[in-house]
Amino acid sequence: MKLTINGQSMTFSNRITHVNQLLHELDVKVKTVVVELNRHILSREDHDEAVLKDGDCLEIVHFVGGG
């Protein structure tokens, strides 16, 4: 399955079917990330149920230093 994450094209095994699995697979260490799936912002609770399909476009953002 091909996904575009933060503008980058990446390939994943078809075992990855949901957003929470993707975050696990990416081994995201940052505690708080927000995921936008095809321009639709997901709440934390949505991560378990949000289904991924080939060609999906995701933005994964977090809080960084800023003023």
Smallest distance, other proteins to C-beta of residue 56, A: 16
Smallest distance, other proteins to C-beta of residue 9, A: 12
Residues 14-53 that bind other proteins (CB under 8 A): 26-34, 36, 41-44
User: For residue 4, what are the CA distances in angstroms to 20, 45, 55?
Assistant: 16, 22, 7
Size of the site for other proteins (CB under 8 A): 27
CA atoms within 13 A on the CB side of 33: 19
**CA–CA separation, 26 vs 67, rounded Å?**
29
Q: Footprint of other proteins on this chain (CB under 8 A)?
A: 5-8, 26-34, 36, 41-44, 59-67
